[in-house]
Amino acid sequence: MLDKLPLPLQNLVYKFSQFPGVGPKSALRMVMELLNWPEDKVITLGKDILELKSRLKPCKYCQALTEEDPCSICADPTRDETLLCVVADLDSMFVLEEPGFYRGKYFILGGLLSPLDGKESESLNTEALENRLRYGQIKEVILALGSTVEAENTASYVKNLVNSKFPKINITRLAQGIPLGAEVKYMDKETLRQSLNFRQKL
Ligand SMILES: [Zn+2]
Q: pLDDT of 105-137, one tens digit each?
A: 999 999 999 988 888 888 999 999 999 999 989
Find the 202 Cα to ligand 1 centroid distance in Å: 38
Find the 143 Cα to ligand 1 centroid distance in Å: 17
Is 98 domain-assigned?
yes
Average pLDDT taken over every residue of the chain: 92
Find the 72 Cα to ligand 1 centroid distance in Å: 7
User: CA 37, CA 192: separation in Å to the nearest integer?
Assistant: 50
Inform me whether the pLDDT recorded for 60 exceeds 70. yes
Domain identity same for 25 and 117: no
Q: What is the pLDDT of residues 3-56, one digit of tens each?
A: 888 999 999 999 999 999 999 999 999 999 999 999 999 999 999 999 998 999
Task: Look up residue 6 and give its amino acid.
Answer: P
User: CA 74, CA 105: separation in Å to the nearest integer?
Assistant: 7
* Strand partners for 172: 142
CB 176 within 8 A of CB 199: no
Find the 130 Cα to ligand 1 centroid distance in Å: 15
74: CATH:
3.40.1360.10
24: CATH:
1.10.8.420
Find the 169 Cα to ligand 1 centroid distance in Å: 20
End-to-end CA distance of the chain: 59
Find the 128 Cα to ligand 1 centroid distance in Å: 12
Domain count, the chain: 2
Domain encompassing residue 45: 2-54
DSSP label at residue 114: B
Under the banding of pLDDT at 50, 70 and 90, the label for residue 146 is confident
Find the 68 Cα to ligand 1 centroid distance in Å: 9
Non-local CB neighbours of 12 within 8 Å, separated by 6+ positions: 27, 31, 34
